[in-house]
Amino acid sequence: MSATIEFLDTADGPFGILARNGSVIASGWTDSADALLNRLAQAHRPVDVAEGDTGAAADAVRAFYAGDLQPIMAVPVTQYGTTLQQAGWHALRTITPGAPLTYSEFAVHLGSPSAVRAAASICARNAPALFVPCHRVLRSDGTMGGFAWGVAVKQALLAREAAA
């Protein structure tokens, strides 16, 4: 399996997109191909990665940083995980920009109010960041919590979405 990788300059630093057949498989605020590949389980990592144009994915990131939040959600993503993880990643894409949920609220949103740890794990294992907006989930006390790409990036994303 081969994939295309593209790096963009954003207000939050370099942003990498790893895509296969027009679908984003990993992304985040880095200029390191290894950092993106390491977000994927070994079995799902592409064998060949070439730098190139990721098309609609890159266009959607540029639109996001220009203030149009909608194109990000139209970009196809491919993720590998359990049925609960798949449902969680799908649910993350339904959280309204500017209206983040806590992990407890996200667990309720998933239909499993007692699954707060599972909700947090779903966010932590999310490979196509931004396209699947795990940054829209906060600690149960409303604080930022962790984010694979740094809390400062998470804060900036939430502020950008609140302003849009």
Active site residues: 134
The SS3 assignment for 9 reads strand
What six digits make up the tokens of 7? 């790096």
Give the Cα separation of 124 and 116 in Å (integer).
Answer: 13
What six digits make up the tokens of 150? 């740094």
Asked if 15 and 160 count as a contact pair (C-beta separation under 8 A), the reply is no
Q: Output phi, psi for 124, to 5 deg.
A: -65, -30
